[in-house]
Every structure is written in structure tokens, then in C-alpha cells.
Chain A
Amino acid sequence: MKIHVDVLRRYTPLPDSLRQVRLLLDDLGLEVKRLNVDGHLTLELLANRGDHHCYEGLAREITGRTGEALTTPPVATLTLGEPPWPLRLETDLCLVYTATLLERVGEAAGQLDEAQLAPLRAAGLASVLAPVDATNLSNLELGQPTHVFDADTLVGAVTIRLSRPGERAWPLFTAEPVAVPEGTLVIADDVKILAIAGVIGCEESKTTASTRRILLESATFDPVKVRIASRALGIHTDSTARFERGSDPARPLIGAGRVVQLLEGTGAWRRVGDTGQVGAWVNPERVVSLSVAAAGRFFGMPLPGEQVVEILGRLGYIAHLSPDDGDTVTAYVPTWRLWDVEYADDLYEDLARSIGYNNTPVALPPVDMGALPSAAETRRHQIDGLLQSFGFYEVFTDGFYGRALIENLGLPEAHPLRAHVQTENALDRAYSLLKASCFPQAVELVALNQRVKNEQVKAYEWTRTFHPAPQHSLPSGRLSAPCTERRVLWCVASGTDRPRAWLDKSRPADLFFLKGVVEELAVALGLNLQLGPAQASAPLADVLHPARQASVLLNGAVIGVVGEVHPSVLKGFKVRKLRPVYLELDEDTLLAAQSQAVGFEEPSELHPIDRSLAFSLPPKVEAGLVSETLRAAGPPSLIRVSVVDLFEHEDGGVPTRTFTYALTFQTTKGQALSADEVNAACEAMIAAVESGEPGARGVRLRR
């Protein structure tokens, strides 16, 4: 709400300096979002306090704190009687509706003076015509929206009713009539809709410079109905803002009286007959009680009953302290607060506001003991630290994406990665699908970074994917969620394993880089994590390079996948030259897995004996097969077999890889190994390779 401090001063005294005014308003929950040195203020008001949306409401809140007098603008006293126009109320969603007829006295339409228009100017509203200005002022000053119809455009009775199927209305400031949803609360005459109740008037009955007679409407409508209409039509006005928060049902006559007072003050308008009223609203006289002692305990300070009564009185309550127990305060809720005051806690808030939130005691609740991070949180921190040590940055991707992104994968409609839960009302098409996989966003991340000339990509995220699931009834009667949520950790890497440097020792951030990450995770977390054969049925199998992907196994069970992004996917995302690699792990399994105890063996003081063997492998024979065979055939003293060199060459025209395997034998006290024994062991291991499965697949010792 936009106001001017000088207008507010008409209602109640304020501090002299703007800064002090700001601090006071902030302290009352009338938060100043913008302050101009000329006294214009933009306020952010509380969503539940419709009564704050006017100068009188603001001033009343201020007087509740300061105890100063509240001065309200003059209001003409309207006399209820025979309606000046036929009125018909067909719904109880209009609590009260009043109509007052005014006619122009002479030719002039009248003009409000600048002092009167000040609230309008402060709100950024233009002065239009005296009748329109007066209705706007009534809302700004007293919080009662009103509307004026050109009475000479009305046909028959004014009816407050719900709209009918297929009805149309022509709201003000729109180019043409629009369809009105059936059941919308409207004001209509016998042939047309005159206004969407509480939202906006209509073109065909609007007041113009030539209008001779106006029918002044002032009413209270059901807030929910106003709100639904406003949202359905996409029209939000100052009236809506007031009505949808619950307007004061006792205020229509006061609001109309302010309009009449302003218009009659111009000398250009006068009332015709009495004011008509329809509506069965009766003040329910809501009573809320509180215990002064309980309130004192709540605030941690003594709170005399008389003070409570006095504060509530300043805020418009009629409050009494029980003479019987001296503790119970009974408060009649003012009509402008009927929509938000229900419990003693609501009164506590009013008391706190009046006393000042910063003027009540402060005490830390008793704390018995702190808490450590859970095991899962601790493990997550470990993983974070390890990934960051490899140069990965944590990123966030949205929980949704658009169809365009998934199309880049080039998958058929029936593919599991295309099974999505959909958003129903996303403002942006890029948010139409809840993500079923992090993979497309990971590739998009690489593409984005390549577009900005950054090919060094190492990113990871802890996130969730959403997978459609059939809904069923829960014990609560509600339906189960339309999806399951799977927590995942994903990483993507491209470029080199470290940034290019002046002494370049980098190598590609390829599948072996990510495999190394998995292996280091296994070590750091004490988990039996290994790579295993890729699963053709895995959803990601089709978007990863078919010969460069693997399952990630925990104790033999699949918990994730690692692989190089499929070239056709890269083409779909317009990623050129780079060959990014992707790792995805199931978060819940990873964080819950039990660490294995580390079996510590004290290092021997005796020197180990090293040997190396080179084996030539035909294409597609795994180097690990040879390693495993060597290990299996080696003596107990063989403590390590590692691949330390690769030589790629052709052997008889066949591409061949020759690997050097470093073997380490460890002697122990009392079990010294001789060179002959080691050599004999090596011969046995060579024989095992050449006569076993490796040999059968063409592996030979390179002598």
C-alpha cells in the first residue's frame, strides 16, 4: 500500500522524523518497504489484516501503541429506508448490500480539492471524476470499497446473484466482454452484469462525465467468493485486496456515508431519498477471553488486567476484567477483526504489538544436550569432501525440466526415462515435467559450459528424481503420492582431470577418472564398492556409450551406474568434441551402508621382493582377468598385483595391448623368500595365465 505520511498524520500524531515514523511502523508490523524523503511510503501489510488496508486501519494500529487520539474523516449520516432503486438479493454470499441514489444538482460534475485527493495521489491513482474519486477515497481512507453505477444505464432491479452458465460481462478497462465462470458473485440488472462483486465494475454501467444520476453501492461480500472470481478472471483491484481478506460487515453505511459526504461537499451532487439495504448479516458479537496470569506467563512479564483492558480498548475491543476472579478478560471483537480474531493467542498478538515485540523479556529455553550429525549426514560430508578434493563443485538443478530437454536424448516414447509426473499449472514450459533422471540436466550443464568456453566440468549434486507410481487410498483417506522419490548423487565430468597448467600433467577426465573416484569413495567410506557389468535393462543404458559403461556395485548389488555419455546424446545437446562421463549413485543406499572394519596389518621391516611380468592381450580381453589369475595362482607371499604400464602395438596385424604387471612379494620373519622361490612362483603364475582362461583368449607372456 502506498501512503503519504502527512495524510496519515491527519488521523493520529506521528513522530516528527521520517526515520522514527518508519521505525514505529516497522515495529507494528506495518513494514515500510520503501521510503521517499518527500514522505511517500510503500508498506507491506500482513496478509491476514484486511483492516490495515486503509488510513484509518493503519492509524488505529498506531494509536494502539501510542495511546494518542484517532481522528477519522467526516462521514454523512445515511438514513436506511425505502430503497431508492429496486434491490434483490438472491444469495447469502453477500452479507449486506446498500444502495444510495445521488443526482447532479447542476451542470458541473463537481471536483474534490487537492487536500481531499491527497490519499489518491499518494496511492498513485489518477483523479478521474468526482464520484469515482470519492469511492476510491472511501476505500483508501476507511477501508470500505464502494462503486458508482450510472443509474440511467440500469434496466430494472439491481440483483445480487450468482452468474449463470454462459454469461458474459464487460469489466472496466478491458477491450471486450469476457466469459464469467458460472457461480461467480455478480451484481446485475435485468439485462446485463453491472459488476463482478468485490472485484470490478463493468463498462456498460460506468459513470462518465455526462452521468446525471449515480447509484452508490457499498457492500460486504464473501471473501472466498471474491477471491475465486478475482483469480478466475485474472483481475486484482484495490477492492479485491480489501474484500478477499474479509471486510468489515458493519462498514458499508460508513463507507457510503464518506462518499456522500465528499460528493455533497462539492455542491454538485445530492441524495435522492433514503439508502436501501438488503442482507441478513447480524453482528455475531464474537467474544474471546484470556487469562491475564496466563498472558503474563506467556510473555514472561507481569501484565496487569487493567493494562490488558486498556490496550484492547485502544484497538477497538470492548474488554472487561472479571471482578470475580480479577484474571479473566472478556473481549468483544470489533467488527473489522471478525475475520482474524478467534483465540486468546490472537489477543496475545495484539497485546504484543501494542507493548512492542522488542519490549518483552527474552529467555533461552532450557537445553539439556546437543546432538551430533547423524551417521548419514556424516557420511554425506565425507563424500562432499572427497568429491571436492577431486575438483567437483556442488550445483543445483531444478526439480523439473521441459519436454524439449528430454527430447534431446532421442529416446522412444515408451522408454522408462520418459515416464514422468507432470506439473499441471507451471507458468514456464521448462517446468512441465518432474525430473525422472538427472542425466539430461547433467549433459545440459556440460553443453552450457561449453557454450561459455568452459570445457573443464566437474559438478555434482544431491537431489531427487520422481517416478510415477499408481495412487492408492491411505489410512487417512487421502490418496498416496503419484510418484516415488528417489534420492540420488550424480556427478558429471569433462575436460581433463585437472585444469590446464604451465607444466601440464593432466589427462582426460574420462571413465577411468570417474572409476578412480568410485574407488576412492570405497576407501574413504570403508565400502565394498566396485564396478560390474553394465545392465542392459538400466534406464540409463541407452544414453551411455554401450562399450563404456558399468554398474556400480555395493557388496555385489547394483547401486548406480557410471559411463561415458552416448555420442548421439551429445549430438542432441550440441556438445562437440567433449566426451563427458556421468556417475549416478543411489543416495539412500550409499548413506545407509555399513562401513567395513579395516583389517590393519603392521608393515614388515623386511624388504619386499618385486618382479614384473608383461602380458600381451588381444582386443576386448580385460586386463583385470590377468590380474585376477595372477593373484589366484600366486603364493601367500604375493601381496600386490598392479598394472603399471601399457604399450599399445600391433602383433601380426592385430591391435594388441601389452600390460606390465608389477608383483610384490613380502617376506616375513621366519619365512624368508629366496630369489629362486620367487622365480618359481612367477613361473607358476605365468603358466596359470597362459594355460587358463586368459591364455585361452589369446593372452601371452611378452618375453
Chain B
Amino acid sequence: MNRPDTQAMFAAFTAALAEATTLEQIEAVRQAHTGKKSEIKLALRGLGAVPAEDRPAVAKEVNDVAQTMERALSEASAAIEARALAARLSEEWVDLSLPGLAPPRGARHPVISVEEDCLAVLRQLGFVRVDGPEVEHPYYNFDALNIPPHHPARDMQDTFWVDGGYLLRSHTTTVQARVLESRPPLPIRVASAGRVYRNEAVDATHLAMFHQLEGLWIDRGLTFAHLKGLLTTIAQSLYGRRPVRFKPKFYPYTEPSVGVDLQCGVCEGEGEVSGAACEACHGAGWVTILGAGMVHPKVFREFGYDPNEVSGIAFGLGTTRMASQRVGVSKVALLYGQDLRVHTRLHRSGV
């Protein structure tokens, strides 16, 4: 047998491969030059006819060429695939200036968000949430809380009276009265949150229905210092470590009563910004965030507690006002309206 002309085979293969630009053409080259009927395969099959002394060298030569062809085919295929992939990826450009298409989420009401934040702080202190009726007996709304008939304090909470001598609760302190009446074991640490009602002229900043959150801690040995410590903790947990100040207030069901102010975050307590009165705090340098006090001895006596034995801390947060401050909407009526554009903008401002 003649020695196979591997150089000619390889030259023909190389020329054919150079012409191939698609995977299909490469496959055709593969079939023609390395397939079963290709010259190289015939050469391999004909090695038996090569004289024994030449056979190893010829076999090596043919095998080397065959392997080289296979490598060349693989590389050519890979190169074409890479080019095709690059071309496809380029064609698959998307216009990311277009908006995303995931369904947009809704949102919790900002007042409830504030309420939950407050409750989260209170839970860390062992408070549990309790609830009570909104249509309430005046006893729980007033009398049990040391607000007798015709007391000026009743003016502070103009009341919606309903059929049957009942009223719509004007504060969530009613729930505290009910808790005290039930005489649970000490210590009592409860928080009540929800809707309250005031029968007053409604405008952008005054509502007939809004939200409050109140807390009550009853135990032996609670002091004014504890009141201040608790309120400072609550205020700073919610608003950060801004200075807190206490001022005298009057609530019929606490004595002494205190208001808690937080240093204004805009003017930092100076009361003015660039020489003008700070709008955020009306020049006060402080913003009132909650009211509180030591539970009044009359309230304790009303429910059979001995005020010499137990003492209590009661506090209330105006969650509506807090939410209004948080989202920067001074017209709280907007928050309580049903125009969903308001809610969308509050939740997706700037989007």
C-alpha cells in the first residue's frame, strides 16, 4: 500500500474548513474530512496494509492529522458559537429606561405604621395590646376617669352621644378603665390603640375620628422618676436620642400630669431657622409628642385599689399627629380621606 498523503488530506480539510461559516457547514466538513468515508478514516482503516516496519510511523502520522482535524473542527465550532452568542446577546438588548413590570405593592396606612412602631417599643417593655368597645358607657369615658359631669375637662373632648345614653369613646383611656375594673394581677402593662371620636367642626387639621395609643403600667413602687424614665425610653426609641423635656399638663385621670416634648429636629431646639421662627415647632424649639402622668388616686379608688399600695403610669400618644409629622402632611384630613392618589403618593413618593 502507498503511504497515505496526509499533507494533502490536511490541506484539503483546512481549505474546506476555512470556507465554513456556519455550524452546519462545519458539520459538513466534519462528515467529509473526518467521517466514516473520509480519506483519513480510510487511511486509518488501511494501516494493516502498510509494511510492519513502517506501520507505527504511518499510524502516528495519520492519527496526529486526524486529531488535529478534530481539534480544528471543535475550535471552529466554538468560534462560530461564540460569535453567534455574541450576536444574539447584542440583539437581545432591552430598553431599561422602560418601567419595571412587577405588580406594585400597596401599603399600610401611615397611622397604623406609627402605631405598630409604638407597639413594637412597648412590647419590648412587656406591654401587651388590649382593646375595648368604641361605643362606650360614659362611666368608662368620663366618670371612672375623674371627669365628673359638667367638668371643663369634658370640653376637651367634645363628645358624640349615641342612642341609649352611650357615647363614642373620645379617648382610648376607656380601655384602661376597663382593664383596671377587671383587676388583673400586678404588674399590669397594657397598651390600647384605635379610633377615637370628637364631635367638633371638621377641617383640614381637625377630624371627627382619629387615632390614639395609650399605655398603662400599674405596679407597686412606681414613681415619678419611673414615669420620666419610661417616657424618655419610648420617645427616644421612636425618634432617636434627641433631648426630651417634661412640662406640666392637666389630665383629669393623672396627677401629676406631664407633657413630653422632643427637641425640634428642624431647628434643634433653637426655635428659629435663619433668623425666622421655625415653622416645624412654631418657634418653640420643642414639639409635643405625648401626654402622661401618674394614675390619679381617685381612679385607683374607683376600682378598689389602694393608692398607698400601688401606683401607676399612664401615657398617651397621638398616633395621628405622629403619622402626620412623619409623612410631612399637616392636613391630616388627607390621611383620613379615601382619595387613593394620596396614599399612592405617600407610599411611592418620587416614583
Q: How far is the CA of A363 from the CA of B231 in the complex (A)?
A: 10
Name the residue of chain A whose CB is nearest to the CB of B168. Answer: A399
Name the residue of chain A whose CB is nearest to the CB of B164. Answer: A482
Is B225 interfacial (CB-CB < 8 Å)?
A: yes
Is B249 interfacial (CB-CB < 8 Å)?
A: yes
The segment from B4-12, B46-54, B104-112 found at the interface with A is B104-112
Q: In the bound complex, do residue B225 and residue A346 qualify as a contact, i.e. CB atoms below 8 Å apart?
A: no
Is A679 interfacial (CB-CB < 8 Å)?
A: no
Q: Are A299 and B229 CB-contacts (below 8 A) given A46-B249, A396-B209?
A: no
Number of interface residues of B (CB under 8 A): 95
Annotate A23-34 by CB proximity to B: 1 below 8 A, 0 otherwise. 100111101111
Q: In the bound complex, do residue A434 and residue B152 qualify as a contact, i.e. CB atoms below 8 Å apart?
A: no
Out of A227, A348, A464, A483, which one reaches B255, CB within 8 Å?
Answer: A348
Q: How far is the CA of A360 from the CA of B245 in the complex (A)?
A: 11
CB-defined contacts of A298 to chain B, threshold 8 Å: 223-224
Q: Are A48 and B224 CB-contacts (below 8 A) given A396-B111, A434-B135, A502-B98?
A: no
Name the residue of chain A whose CB is nearest to the CB of B343. Answer: A393
Q: How far is the CA of A181 from the CA of B42 in the complex (A)?
A: 128
CB-defined contacts of A597 to chain B, threshold 8 Å: none
Out of B105, B165, B257, B271, which one reaches A19, CB within 8 Å?
Answer: B271
Q: In the bound complex, do residue A357 and residue B258 qualify as a contact, i.e. CB atoms below 8 Å apart?
A: yes
- State the Cβ distance, A485 to closest chain B Cβ, in Å: 6
- State the Cβ distance, A522 to closest chain B Cβ, in Å: 20
CB-defined contacts of A370 to chain B, threshold 8 Å: 123-126
Tell me the residues in window 410-450 of chain A with beta carbons closer than 8 Å to chain B beta carbons.
421-428, 431, 434, 441, 444-445, 448-449
Q: In the bound complex, do residue A244 and residue B256 qualify as a contact, i.e. CB atoms below 8 Å apart?
A: no
Q: Are A466 and B135 CB-contacts (below 8 A) given A343-B297, A345-B297, A360-B224?
A: yes
Q: In the bound complex, do residue B256 and residue A388 qualify as a contact, i.e. CB atoms below 8 Å apart?
A: no
- State the Cβ distance, A431 to closest chain B Cβ, in Å: 6
- State the Cβ distance, A360 to closest chain B Cβ, in Å: 6
CB-defined contacts of B271 to chain A, threshold 8 Å: 19, 22
Q: Are A26 and B101 CB-contacts (below 8 A) given A352-B224, A392-B106?
A: no
Q: In the bound complex, do residue B106 and residue A394 qualify as a contact, i.e. CB atoms below 8 Å apart?
A: yes
Name the residue of chain B whose CB is nearest to the CB of A499. Answer: B104
CB-defined contacts of A48 to chain B, threshold 8 Å: 152-153, 250, 252
Q: In the bound complex, do residue A395 and residue B166 qualify as a contact, i.e. CB atoms below 8 Å apart?
A: no
Name the residue of chain B whose CB is nearest to the CB of A461. Answer: B109
Is B45 interfacial (CB-CB < 8 Å)?
A: no
Q: How far is the CA of A441 from the CA of B197 in the complex (A)?
A: 18
CB-defined contacts of B230 to chain A, threshold 8 Å: 364-365
CB-defined contacts of A22 to chain B, threshold 8 Å: 271, 284
Is A620 interfacial (CB-CB < 8 Å)?
A: no
Q: Are A345 and B294 CB-contacts (below 8 A) given A224-B150, A394-B106, A427-B199?
A: yes
Q: In the bound complex, do residue B129 and residue A377 qualify as a contact, i.e. CB atoms below 8 Å apart?
A: yes
Q: Are A35 and B283 CB-contacts (below 8 A) given A423-B161, A485-B135?
A: yes
CB-defined contacts of A388 to chain B, threshold 8 Å: 105-108
Annotate B93-120 by CB proximity to A: 1 below 8 A, 0 otherwise. 0000011010111111101100000010
Q: How far is the CA of A244 from the CA of B282 in the complex (A)?
A: 30
Is A245 interfacial (CB-CB < 8 Å)?
A: yes
Q: Are A367 and B125 CB-contacts (below 8 A) given A47-B152, A297-B223, A360-B224?
A: yes
Q: In the bound complex, do residue A434 and residue B164 qualify as a contact, i.e. CB atoms below 8 Å apart?
A: no
Q: In the bound complex, do residue B339 and residue A448 qualify as a contact, i.e. CB atoms below 8 Å apart?
A: yes
Is B27 interfacial (CB-CB < 8 Å)?
A: no
Q: Are A426 and B233 CB-contacts (below 8 A) given A26-B286, A348-B255?
A: no
Q: How far is the CA of A449 from the CA of B257 in the complex (A)?
A: 44
Number of interface residues of A (CB under 8 A): 105
The segment from A451-459, A631-639, A689-697 found at the interface with B is A451-459
Q: In the bound complex, do residue B160 and residue A46 qualify as a contact, i.e. CB atoms below 8 Å apart?
A: no
Out of A300, A384, A458, which one reaches B225, CB within 8 Å?
Answer: A300
Out of A301, A368, A396, which one reaches B126, CB within 8 Å?
Answer: A368
Q: In the bound complex, do residue A353 and residue B248 qualify as a contact, i.e. CB atoms below 8 Å apart?
A: yes
Q: In the bound complex, do residue A449 and residue B137 qualify as a contact, i.e. CB atoms below 8 Å apart?
A: no
Out of B163, B164, B229, B297, which one reaches A365, CB within 8 Å?
Answer: B229
Is A389 interfacial (CB-CB < 8 Å)?
A: yes
Name the residue of chain A whose CB is nearest to the CB of B248. Answer: A29
Q: Are A365 and B128 CB-contacts (below 8 A) given A392-B106, A481-B135?
A: no
CB-defined contacts of B156 to chain A, threshold 8 Å: 47
Name the residue of chain B whose CB is nearest to the CB of A459. Answer: B340
Q: In the bound complex, do residue A391 and residue B160 qualify as a contact, i.e. CB atoms below 8 Å apart?
A: no
CB-defined contacts of B152 to chain A, threshold 8 Å: 47-48, 227, 244-245
CB-defined contacts of A346 to chain B, threshold 8 Å: 255
CB-defined contacts of A454 to chain B, threshold 8 Å: 339-341
CB-defined contacts of B222 to chain A, threshold 8 Å: 365
Tell me the residues in window 363-405 of chain A with beta carbons closer than 8 Å to chain B beta carbons.
363-365, 367-374, 377, 384, 387-400
- State the Cβ distance, A490 to closest chain B Cβ, in Å: 12
- State the Cβ distance, A239 to closest chain B Cβ, in Å: 14
Q: In the bound complex, do residue B150 and residue A422 qualify as a contact, i.e. CB atoms below 8 Å apart?
A: no
Is A362 interfacial (CB-CB < 8 Å)?
A: yes
Q: In the bound complex, do residue B208 and residue A398 qualify as a contact, i.e. CB atoms below 8 Å apart?
A: yes
Tell me the residues in window 135-158 of chain B with beta carbons closer than 8 Å to chain A beta carbons.
135-137, 139, 149-150, 152-153, 155-156
Out of A33, A390, A423, A483, which one reaches B160, CB within 8 Å?
Answer: A423
Tell me the residues in window 638-669 of chain A with beta carbons closer than 8 Å to chain B beta carbons.
none
Is B246 interfacial (CB-CB < 8 Å)?
A: yes
Is A479 interfacial (CB-CB < 8 Å)?
A: yes
Is B89 interfacial (CB-CB < 8 Å)?
A: no
Out of B109, B168, B195, which one reaches A394, CB within 8 Å?
Answer: B109
Q: In the bound complex, do residue A364 and residue B123 qualify as a contact, i.e. CB atoms below 8 Å apart?
A: no
Q: How far is the CA of A373 from the CA of B313 in the complex (A)?
A: 22
Is B39 interfacial (CB-CB < 8 Å)?
A: no
Q: In the bound complex, do residue B133 and residue A481 qualify as a contact, i.e. CB atoms below 8 Å apart?
A: yes
- State the Cβ distance, B216 to closest chain A Cβ, in Å: 13
Q: How far is the CA of A399 from the CA of B170 in the complex (A)?
A: 13
Q: In the bound complex, do residue A498 and residue B209 qualify as a contact, i.e. CB atoms below 8 Å apart?
A: no
CB-defined contacts of A307 to chain B, threshold 8 Å: none
Out of B150, B162, B217, B286, which one reaches A421, CB within 8 Å?
Answer: B162
Q: How far is the CA of A431 from the CA of B123 in the complex (A)?
A: 35
- State the Cβ distance, B297 to closest chain A Cβ, in Å: 5
Q: In the bound complex, do residue B343 and residue A365 qualify as a contact, i.e. CB atoms below 8 Å apart?
A: no
CB-defined contacts of A26 to chain B, threshold 8 Å: 247, 261, 284, 286
Q: Are A27 and B247 CB-contacts (below 8 A) given A360-B224, A428-B202, A478-B139?
A: yes
Q: Are A29 and B247 CB-contacts (below 8 A) given A244-B152, A365-B217, A423-B160?
A: yes
Q: How far is the CA of A370 from the CA of B219 in the complex (A)?
A: 16
CB-defined contacts of B223 to chain A, threshold 8 Å: 297-300, 363
Q: In the bound complex, do residue A458 and residue B135 qualify as a contact, i.e. CB atoms below 8 Å apart?
A: no
Q: How far is the CA of A445 from the CA of B339 in the complex (A)?
A: 7
CB-defined contacts of A396 to chain B, threshold 8 Å: 109, 111, 195, 209, 335-336
CB-defined contacts of B212 to chain A, threshold 8 Å: none
Q: In the bound complex, do residue B248 and residue A357 qualify as a contact, i.e. CB atoms below 8 Å apart?
A: yes
Is A49 interfacial (CB-CB < 8 Å)?
A: yes
Q: In the bound complex, do residue A485 and residue B133 qualify as a contact, i.e. CB atoms below 8 Å apart?
A: yes
Q: How far is the CA of A425 from the CA of B199 in the complex (A)?
A: 8
Tell me the residues in window 583-628 of chain A with beta carbons closer than 8 Å to chain B beta carbons.
none
Q: In the bound complex, do residue A393 and residue B107 qualify as a contact, i.e. CB atoms below 8 Å apart?
A: yes
CB-defined contacts of A391 to chain B, threshold 8 Å: 103-106
Q: How far is the CA of A221 from the CA of B160 in the complex (A)?
A: 29
Q: In the bound complex, do residue B107 and residue A423 qualify as a contact, i.e. CB atoms below 8 Å apart?
A: no
What are 5 pairs between A and B in contact, CB < 8 Å? A46-B250, A299-B223, A365-B313, A395-B338, A423-B160
With A365-B229, A372-B123 given, can you name 18 additional A-B contacts, CB distance below 8 Å? A27-B245, A32-B284, A47-B250, A244-B152, A345-B256, A348-B255, A360-B228, A362-B225, A373-B129, A393-B340, A395-B343, A398-B208, A421-B164, A425-B160, A425-B199, A444-B338, A452-B341, A466-B134
Binding site for A on B (CB under 8 A): 98-99, 101, 103-109, 111-112, 119, 123-129, 133-137, 139, 149-150, 152-153, 155-156, 159-166, 168, 195, 197, 199-202, 208-209, 217, 219, 222-226, 228-230, 232-233, 245-250, 252, 255-259, 261, 271, 282-286, 294, 296-298, 307, 313, 335-336, 338-341, 343-344, 347
